[in-house]
Amino acid sequence: MKRRSMSAAQIVPLGFLFLIAIGTGLLMLPFATADGTSASFLTALFTSTTSVCVTGLVVADTFSFWSGFGKAVILLLIQAGGLGIVAVSSSLFLLLRKSFTIRNRAILRDAFDLDSLQGVLRFLRKVILGVLLIEGVGTILYAFAFVPEYGFFRGLWYALFHSVSAFCNAGLDLIGPDSLLPYQNSVYVLTVTMLLIVVGGLGYIVWFDSYTTAKRAAKCRFGVRWFFRHLGEHTKLVLWATLILIVLGAAGTLLLEYRNGATLGALPWSGKILNAVFQSVTYRTAGFSAIPQSGLSDGSVLFGSVLMFIGGSPMGTAGGIKTATIAVLLLSALSFVRGRPESAAFRRSIPSGLVRKAAAILFFSLTLSLLSSVLLAAVDGVPMADAVFEVFSATGTVGLSRGLTPHLSVFGRILIILCMYLGRIGPISLALFFHTDLSGGKNIHFAQGRYYVG
């Protein structure tokens, strides 16, 4: 009997489950906690899931509950989860100098959503080197702030942990129970954090395209306009979407919160603007907070939930349905309104199959988030605003909370665990799933029917 091999669409979800299981076992060891007693299964499972899924929601404070060993396990889980299970396992193959079969390369190609098998190993090496370089630079930058405050070794450890956590958009921290609230007036710390979050969330394709184009521009002494004109259409789309979302997010937060004494109201205008920009960036799957999330107005809860749902960009460390997904749907809607036969961006057409995939991701992700919000509010008896914020934070792998997470019931914790897991692998699995035709009916064409919408 012929053995059927698994596809990347099956390997990715199973790989994340396997990694979560390993993390849960390690975090249940007695020496993983600060007081030397074994963590409960649900606490270990929740922490392992939030680390692997780079979410940041916690039922036990990372800085006080876990020992040095436990924190190191969490850091490794964040790194593995941020890179992705296929990238991590493939990196181990490279490190051990194991040979890659055609099937291994195909799985790696699907995991990175590349067009062909050619150059997949070179792409993986560039990803690993790029990640290590950025996290290393982030560690050095953080060290200038943390070493003087916490001492050399502790400050360096804090710098490394927060660099990896920020780059992987995890939002877990070692500062204290209030995340980055002690640094809400530190332009330096918040700026370093924002840069790491944004770079991690842009995606590897954008990195390499920007680097290659900038290198060509510098070599030939071309200007900035030439650089932007010769970027790939995906890079342009992601950069524009990211910039627009950051600006709109900051403006919206400032408008909704500048009078709110529980958040931005007590800060000077420079502090209001700084923290509004930081809140805009962290909404999009980072999870660090410099203002109390429990003090947000209802308008900000709804506004922030939309930003958390969108998230970062494809092929990066961020979650959500992705900036490119929402941009493709918006451009498709605009092309319909304008009466154009096809969607386009930067004078390049958008394939109709990509529009269908974006619509499917939006539908399934939104259905999961809304149903889970209703369930959490009904079973745990929490206000709907808090339930929506918690669930959208979980499915978008953000990690922001209005103080609800530690007080969830057993059902609530299990529901959030499922939301974090499905939020992390859902869009990825859907994207890979729609590369194949399970029905085997690619050549079947049905007679056109008459349907009515709108």
The reply to whether 390 falls in a domain is: yes
Closest-CA residue to 54 (of 15, 92, 83, 95):
83
Q: Are 227 and 213 in contact (CB under 8 A)?
A: yes
Across the range 230-237, mean pLDDT stands at: 92
pLDDT tens-digit profile of 293-328?
999 999 999 999 999 999 998 888 888 999 999 999
Tokens at 313, concatenated? 């960009």
For residue 442, is it within any domain?
no
13 vs 330: which has the higher pLDDT: 330
Whether 83 is in a domain gets the answer yes
Tens of pLDDT, residue by residue over 88-130, are: 766 666 665 666 666 667 766 766 666 666 777 788 888 888 8
Structural domains in the chain (count):
1
Average pLDDT over residues 354-369: 91
Average pLDDT over residues 200-207: 90
Paired strand residues for 66: 33
Q: Which amino acid is at 341?
A: P
Task: Flag whether 438 is in a domain.
Answer: no
Region 241-256: mean pLDDT is: 96
Structural domain harbouring 162: 8-433
DSSP 395-415: HTT----SS-GGG--HHHHHH
In the chain, % of residues over pLDDT 70:
87
Q: How far apart are CA 444 and CA 131, in angstroms?
A: 44
Mean pLDDT for all residues in the chain = 87
Largest CA distance in the chain: 73
Residue 443: the pLDDT is 65
Q: What number of residues does the chain have?
A: 454
Residue with more model confidence, 265 or 96: 265
Q: Would residue 450 count as lying in a domain?
A: no
Does residue 356 form part of some domain?
yes
Is 398 a residue whose pLDDT tops 60?
yes
- Which position has the higher pLDDT, 130 or 434? 130
The answer to whether position 451 is within a domain reads no
Put simply, whether the predicted model's pTM sits higher than 0.75 gets the answer yes
Q: Write down the pLDDT at residue 146.
A: 97
What number is the average pLDDT over the span 440-444? 60
Per residue in 272-289, pLDDT (tens digit) is 999 999 999 999 888 899
**pLDDT (average), residues 342-367:** 89
Take residue 252 and report the two structure tokens written for it. 């919206």
Query: What are the pLDDT digits (tens) for 180-199?
Result: 999 999 999 999 999 999 99
Q: Does pLDDT of 240 surpass 70? A: yes
pLDDT reported for residue 144:
96
Asked if residue 394 has pLDDT above 60, the reply is: yes
Residue 118: Cβ-neighbour burial (10 angstroms; 0-12, 13-18, 19+): exposed
Structure tokens at 442: 């690619």
Q: Quote the CA–CA distance of 243 and 436 in Å, as a whole number.
A: 33
Q: Mean per-residue pLDDT for 397-425?
A: 92
Q: How far apart are CA 15 and CA 10, in angstroms?
A: 8
Element (H, E) at 73: helix 68-83
Q: What pLDDT, on a 0 to 100 scale, did the predictor assign at position 2?
A: 45
Contact residues for 293 (Cβ-Cβ < 8 A; gap 6+): 389, 400, 401, 402, 403
The answer to the question of residue 2 being in a domain is no
pLDDT at 364 over 80: yes
